[in-house]
Amino acid sequence: MALIVQKYGGTSVGSTERIQAVAEKVKRYHDEGNQVVVVVSAMSGETNRLVALAEEITARPSAREMDVLLSTGEQVTIALLSMALHALGKNARSYTGGQVHIRTDSSHSKARILDIDGERVKADLDAGRIVVVAGFQGTDEQGNITTLGRGGSDTTAVAMAAALDADECQIFTDVDGVYTTDPRVEPNARKLDRITFEEMLELASSGSKVLQIRSVEFAGKYNVPLRVLSSFEEGEGTLITLEEEDVEKAKIAGIAFSRDEAKLTIRGVPDHPGVAYQILGPIGEANIEVDMIVQNIGKDDTTDFTFTVHRNDLDEALDILHKTADELGAREVESDDRIVKIALVGVGMRSHAAIASNMFKALAKEQINIQMISTSEIKVSVIVDEKYLELGVRTLHEAFGLDRVEG
């Protein structure tokens, strides 16, 4: 008998028929002798409906009241799913985030889970009940309703699994697992049976949208085995676990990419200690996230400094950078939003320095010019012209043999 936490997203519970289908699925796991906790999102469309109501009232709704409003979405789903389980003869009970003491900080709309009291849930499980918990929400120390932000239901599920010391946390989505890369770009993309937390994190942060980053971090931190699988199809999905022993061969997990990149360059900055901070400080203060950063020594004791931001933030970053350039006496400011990022991810990379150079070689063979490079322990990212996205992904997918089954 295992204790399983399952999470079903908005599409999976998008209609009463689908909620009934989820109930059937949950019932099967429970019939097999497992204890099951189900975490659900709002029915798809519901959050948008609520946001539209708020927008009819005011252009700037308070974050606290927005959380009160949006948290009703999951509350509707937990009630309906519990009813559907009752209709199948199962004993089930629903709880809001507050009711099972999902305690968060007070950052409305992007709260972080501090603590979960699993006692009430455990008592229900021991009594043979299926427990249905509202994802995405909690309450702060004063009892105010908070939400974890979009996608936060994944985090609720993982945190609940950690609190209950669950055997597995299963995230049901509309894809059947984690792929070596996006199958819409590379038809030979292959579903992975297993992947490590670190690899999953790097894939997610490089644009692969299967799971919310924070939930993967959480799962890694508390070592909760995490499985991604399809709500609509049968299958084992992809299991995300701690590093496996068998990583000696240069194993690449997959290729992530992001189209939402823009690049800014400030040229001819008089070089002195602290110049990086002077350039990036004002960007950070404007809450603009900077991804890749490259600094080159230019001619005449000046330096060239390039960094990437999300494409939506380009205009604002550019305004700020122009001001900084004036203050620093820089020569010029350039920008380019027709770039993409491609990243090779794999824990095997650590012990195989050759991977980066093989990557560059494969791209060079196809005449793909690399504009920026950034490396981490288990990832190599490159910035290239956006017209090379598909070619670059397919070239690397083949060069590293990702279409072949793992050894």
Binding residues: 7-10, 47, 74, 173-174, 179, 184, 209-210
Please state the closest distance from residue 29 (CB atom) to a copy of itself, in A: 20
Distances 285 to 186, 293, 310, 311 between C-alpha atoms, Å = 39, 17, 15, 18
Question: Which tokens belong to 152?
Answer: 């936060």
Task: List residues bridging with 4 in a β-sheet.
Answer: 36, 168
Please state the closest distance from residue 11 (CB atom) to a copy of itself, in A: 17
Question: Which tokens belong to 388?
Answer: 């090379």
Site string for a copy of itself, 226-255 (x = CB under 8 A): ------------------------------
Identify how many contiguous H helices and E strands the chain contains and give both numbers: 11, 18
Site string for a copy of itself, 72-111 (x = CB under 8 A): x--xx-xxx-xxx-xx-----xx-x-xx------------
Segment 110-149, which members bind a copy of itself (CB under 8 A)? 143-145
162 near a copy of itself, rule: CB under 8 A: no
- Name which of 71 and 303 has its Cβ closer to a copy of itself: 71
61 near a copy of itself, rule: CB under 8 A: yes
- Select the residue interacting with a copy of itself from 3, 21, 51, 54 (CB under 8 A): 54
Q: Residue 347 gets which letter from DSSP?
A: G
Segment 262-291, which members bind a copy of itself (CB under 8 A)? none
Contact 25, 13 (CB under 8 A): no
Q: What is the total count of residues that contact a copy of itself (CB under 8 A)?
A: 37
Binding residues for substrate: 47, 74
Q: What are phi and psi of 230, to 5 degrees?
A: -85, 140
| CA 145 – CA 155 distance, rounded (Å) | 16
Segment 13-52, which members bind a copy of itself (CB under 8 A)? 16, 19-20, 50
Please state the closest distance from residue 115 (CB atom) to a copy of itself, in A: 17
Residues 6+ apart with CB under 8 A from 8: 22, 38, 39, 40, 41, 172, 231
- Select the residue interacting with a copy of itself from 68, 213, 294, 391 (CB under 8 A): 68
Stretch that binds a copy of itself, among 66-74, 224-232, 268-276, 278-286 (CB under 8 A): 66-74
66 near a copy of itself, rule: CB under 8 A: yes
Contact 388, 368 (CB under 8 A): yes
Please state the closest distance from residue 127 (CB atom) to a copy of itself, in A: 13
Please state the closest distance from residue 81 (CB atom) to a copy of itself, in A: 9
Distances 218 to 38, 109, 150, 158, 248 between C-alpha atoms, Å = 18, 18, 16, 7, 26
Element (H, E) at 293: strand 290-297
- Name which of 106 and 371 has its Cβ closer to a copy of itself: 106
Residues 6+ apart with CB under 8 A from 73: 41, 42, 43, 46, 47, 50, 136
- Select the residue interacting with a copy of itself from 53, 127, 242, 297 (CB under 8 A): 53
- Name which of 3 and 76 has its Cβ closer to a copy of itself: 76
**The Cα angle at residue 14 between residues 92 and 214, in degrees rounded to 5:** 80
Please state the closest distance from residue 62 (CB atom) to a copy of itself, in A: 6
- Select the residue interacting with a copy of itself from 35, 41, 71, 238 (CB under 8 A): 71
- Name which of 48 and 188 has its Cβ closer to a copy of itself: 48
| CA 309 – CA 261 distance, rounded (Å) | 6
Task: List residues bridging with 255 in a β-sheet.
Answer: 344
Binding residues for ATP: 7-10, 173-174, 179, 184, 209-210
**The Cα angle at residue 102 between residues 65 and 133, in degrees rounded to 5:** 90
Residues 6+ apart with CB under 8 A from 175: 210, 228, 230
| CA 8 – CA 41 distance, rounded (Å) | 7
Query: Could you tell me how many residues make up the chain?
Result: 407
- The residue ranges that bind a copy of itself (CB under 8 A) are 16, 19-20, 50, 53-54, 56-58, 60-62, 64-66, 68-69, 71-72, 75-76, 78-80, 82-84, 86-87, 93-94, 96, 98-99, 143-145
